[in-house]
Amino acid sequence: MLPVLAFEGLTKSYGETVALRDVSFDVPGGQIFGLLGPNGAGKSTLIRILMDIIRPDAGAVRVFGEPRRRAHLDRLGYLPEERGLYKKLKVGEVMTYFGALKGLSRAEARRRALAWLERLELGHTVNWKIERLSKGMGQKVQIASVLMTDPELCVLDEPTTGLDPINVRLVLDLLGERRARGLSTILSTHHMNEVEAICDRVALIDRGRLMVYGAVDEVRRRYSLPEVRVGARGSLPVVPQVASAERETNGTWKLLLADGVAADAALAALIGAGAAIERFEPVLAPIEDIFLRVVREGQA
């Protein structure tokens, strides 16, 4: 996949505070990309540079394979972290206005607004004033206002924060549908389970530096110990390829492999020693553990 977005050597300071230090990475097209990092890491600064709200001190952004231009904004969607809608306007009017801003005719914007409200189980609120919506409802209206124009690249800053699990699932499903249609999404989130559930690729930023970058499975493998989870009938034989074994509560075993032993060699040794294996899989480090390790230790 060609990158839909490339950050090239971005550096930005606010006075004494260095918010980004020489940050470079690509976002491939047609994926859901997780942008991770602790508070104050520099994520919003990066997003604001992409959206042309602020200028970097050095570096460049390429969008859709071209140096970033204002005209690209029509093809970008953005849900900022600060939420806010015009309180006295009606839901349908606000959404129609956002659609028209992105170049839809008013009739088409209205049609899409109604369809998206239905999809988000908010069809009955179309003539409500914004102020009547609960916080979560308002958030869904704002998400729908961004997604309804089908932007080729969409940046969502913590879209699920404050939503209940049913609505979190609904929003993640919408992002999955975007991916199925070849559209690209950048998801800034503090919910690591969402990253494991839906992201193809991640970048972890800390103190203005890119610390971790890669496909989610590949990153998880990179930070994992040489461990495998094994389900077996009966007991497990002792073999030199396994350094230690720990029985887990559900009856499986977690095995730490001996130095330099590949998983398939350990499996062959166990079977050779008479084990009746029913399940055998690598134990991948959770993204949350990787996040904590990298941020606490300050090194990737």
Can you give the binding site for ligand ADP, defined by CB under 6 A? Answer: 14, 17, 19, 37, 39-45
Nearer to ligand ADP, 44 or 125 (CB): 44
Smallest distance from ligand ADP to CB 14, Å: 3
- DSSP alpha helix (H) spans, the chain: 43-50, 91-101, 106-119, 135-147, 165-180, 192-198, 216-222, 263-272, 287-297
Smallest distance from ligand ADP to CB 287, Å: 17
Locate tokens 């699990």: which residue? 165
Give the pair of three-digit tokens for residue 278. Answer: 């029913």
Nearer to ligand ADP, 39 or 249 (CB): 39
Nearer to ligand ADP, 37 or 56 (CB): 37
Nearer to ligand ADP, 81 or 173 (CB): 81
Cβ-defined contacts of 165-171 (< 8 Å, 24+): 167/136, 167/140, 168/194, 170/120, 170/121, 170/140, 171/140, 171/143
Nearer to ligand ADP, 14 or 260 (CB): 14
Smallest distance from ligand ADP to CB 64, Å: 24
Cα atoms found within 13 Å of the Cα of residue 240, Cβ hemisphere only: 1
Q: Name the CA radius of gyration of the chain, rounded.
A: 23
Smallest distance from ligand ADP to CB 43, Å: 4
Smallest distance from ligand ADP to CB 77, Å: 18
